[in-house]
Amino acid sequence: MVDTFGDRLRERITDFGPLCVGIDPSHRQLTSWERGDDVSGLEFFSLAMLEASAGVAAAIKPQVAYFERFGSAGYRVLERLLADARDARVLVIADAKRGDIASTNDGYAQAWLRSDSPLASDALTMSPYLGLGTMTGLVDAAASSGRGIFVVVASSNDEGRVVQEALIDGDTRVEDALLEHIAQWNAGSDVVGSVGAVVGATRDRPRFDLARVKGPFLVPGVGEQGASPEHVARLFAGVTPGTVLVNVSRVVSSAGPDATSIRDAAQRWRDDLAAALP
Amino acid sequence: MVDTFGDRLRERITDFGPLCVGIDPSHRQLTSWERGDDVSGLEFFSLAMLEASAGVAAAIKPQVAYFERFGSAGYRVLERLLADARDARVLVIADAKRGDIASTNDGYAQAWLRSDSPLASDALTMSPYLGLGTMTGLVDAAASSGRGIFVVVASSNDEGRVVQEALIDGDTRVEDALLEHIAQWNAGSDVVGSVGAVVGATRDRPRFDLARVKGPFLVPGVGEQGASPEHVARLFAGVTPGTVLVNVSRVVSSAGPDATSIRDAAQRWRDDLAAALP
């Protein structure tokens, strides 16, 4: 039987700590590294961030939007990054926030979660506005190859609360209903399942007991968005050790372009997070 | 002053009718045309569908997921399709359902709504789980170049209702709150603004008065998903003429691969829709 993505991630977190390095090659970021805002700057930045992450971070999280800025040429760089990450034994979470009707989601599964795809990633982030029921085929595809998805449940930004805290049947928040659905998907797993949740470190604890989700958590909001490792520890108190993956982006990349400085910054965040989390 | 996307679309609908041809090069679709499920099949299908749409449809709507299945090579085909559509004077709505925090959405604006991008499209579909407040930069970028966005408000599939009909402040559905926000964005436009709404033809009329939205409507759900032109007419009774764009995909493409047959099918749907709609 194939290990679940949750189990594979837990193993990496045990070995390397709970840090995920976000790779966000925005115009602002490439410019601050004094690189051109072009495909060559994109490639330099992405590979330097991967190199600094190997052995320090459990995973990297490329933000696909910033590659898509350059169309197919940007996607070629992303493919190179994904291939190099596989070689470097760093897990990749493609942050693409896809989500559509079921037949279209099967297309996304083929793009991101199939071993022979040039974009094959260990996990893909998903946006649930069209409902989790659309994602069954994607979850099955992920599980069969040890890959996973992370559903955005409670995003780190304020503007999402109006949707995420709206009420279903009078008293259940959307975010809690999603967590319950994810828990059902993961219920059959021995330890940690294939379906994770994105829960921002800047948010209050959901009403649904996070320990019951049995999936990995991807946690944005730490660093520039203001949350600390202690926030994360409080939010996830009680969940299975090794299931909380904390994304840190700009506070690491802003130490660049010098490779040693990026790596030192990543290491500091890793150590602070590892000390705070169970 | 630049014409708004809504005005540009209204002009096309007046000239060509309310049909949008969905270009969905799925595994199933390429196979049914007896083409390989590969980049060459993808290109053949996409360009044939564009050719059949020119002069018959106001717009085409490529489903980006199906291009992404082939990674950067699939995106190269999409770029070719977009360039050919510009030459053929067919508007393009990139159906990508993007949506993230504000800084990332700026990346999507650069990818899809900037004239010098290889993926430049007339409009982009957006998924609102992270809140409409994240899309301000994207809306500004769209408006400044006569482009637009379509926010998924009420999707054609059943699984999305649990989120879309959840209640804010006790009595406002999420979908109605989004329509109100969109109406505010469009309020300053003379006739039709840059921000559209996706409202499935299979859904009941939202409580918010659609005539007040002042944006274009993109309507899936007709054809294979079961809704008829008369459903659409009832749903959008009272809105400004020329603002309802109805997407039809498989019932047109299944007439292929013969070019004349696809065009005939598109023309029949166009005529039926034009007869039913105001």
Lowest mean pLDDT segment, chosen from A15-19, A22-26, A226-230, B33-37 = A226-230
Edge-to-edge strands, sheet with B167-168: A172-173, A167-168, B167-168, B172-173
Any bridge partners for residue A248, and if so which?
A21
Average pLDDT, stretch A15-39?
Answer: 97
Distance CA B244, CA B217 (A): 5
Average pLDDT, stretch A57-65?
Answer: 98
Closest CA of chain B from A26, distance in Å? 7
Chain centroid to Cα A167, Å, comes to 26
Any bridge partners for residue B247, and if so which?
B20
Q: How many CB atoms lie within 10 A of CB A233?
A: 16
Structure ipTM? 0.97
* Catalytic-labelled residue, pool A8, A12, A61, A97: A97
Average pLDDT, stretch A166-177?
Answer: 95
Six-digit token string for B252: 């047109």
Contact at 8 Å (CB) between B150 and B196?
yes
Average pLDDT, stretch A153-166?
Answer: 96
Closest CA of chain A from B77, distance in Å? 9
State the pLDDT at residue B1. 62
Backbone angles phi, psi at A55, to 5 degrees: 85, -10
Average pLDDT, stretch A155-173?
Answer: 95
Q: Which amino acid is located at A194 in the chain?
A: S
Report residue A2's pLDDT band, with 50, 70 and 90 as the boundaries: confident
Contact at 8 Å (CB) between A264 and A53?
no
Q: Where are the domains of chain A?
A: 5-276
Output the pTM of the full model: 0.98
* Catalytic-labelled residue, pool B97, B173, B214, B231: B97
- CA angle in degrees (0–180, nearest 5) for B222-B225-B227: 45
Residues with pLDDT less than 70, chain B: 1
Provide the number of CB pairs (under 8 Å) joining chain A to chain B: 190
Q: Is B256 exposed, middle or buried (0-12, 13-18, 19+ CB in 10 A)?
A: buried
Average pLDDT, stretch A87-102?
Answer: 97
Q: Is A97 a catalytic residue?
A: yes
**Digit-coded pLDDT (tens) for B19-66:** 999 999 999 999 999 999 999 999 999 999 999 999 999 999 999 999
Closest CA of chain B from A250, distance in Å? 12
Distance CA A82, CA A66 (A): 15
Nearest to B24 by CA among B197, B225, B200, B160: B225
**Chain A residues closer than 8 Å to B65 by CB:** 98, 100, 104-105, 107-108, 111
Distance CA B54, CA B52 (A): 6
Six-digit token string for A199: 């829960």
The alpha carbon torsion through A23, A112, B22, B81 (nearest 10 deg) reads 60
Q: Which residue does chain A place closest to B82, by CA atoms?
A: A71
Mutate to test the interface with B, among A31, A75, A81, A101 (most CBs of B within 10 A): A101
Residues in Cβ contact with A93 at an 8 Å cutoff, skipping those fewer than 6 apart: A20, A59, A60, A61, A121, A122, A123, A124, A125, A150, A218, A245
**Chain B residues closer than 8 Å to A75 by CB:** 71-72, 75
| Residue labelled with tokens 């047959």 | B261
State the pLDDT at residue B233. 96
Average pLDDT, stretch A43-63?
Answer: 98
Contact at 8 Å (CB) between A44 and A84?
no
Continuous H helices in chain B: 5-16, 27-32, 39-53, 64-68, 71-87, 102-112, 136-144, 161-164, 174-186, 229-235, 250-253, 259-276
**Digit-coded pLDDT (tens) for A192-205:** 999 999 999 999 99
> For the domain bounded by B5-276, which CATH number is listed?
3.20.20.70
Contact at 8 Å (CB) between B6 and B243?
yes
- CA angle in degrees (0–180, nearest 5) for B20-B25-B31: 130
Contact at 8 Å (CB) between A160 and B191?
no
Answer whether residue A113 shows pLDDT above 70: yes
| Residue labelled with tokens 């059949």 | B52
State the pLDDT at residue B27. 97
**Count of CA atoms in the C-beta half-sphere (13 A) of B203:** 22
Mutate to test the interface with B, among A115, A126, A130 (most CBs of B within 10 A): A130
State the pLDDT at residue A226. 86
**Chain B residues closer than 8 Å to A83 by CB:** none
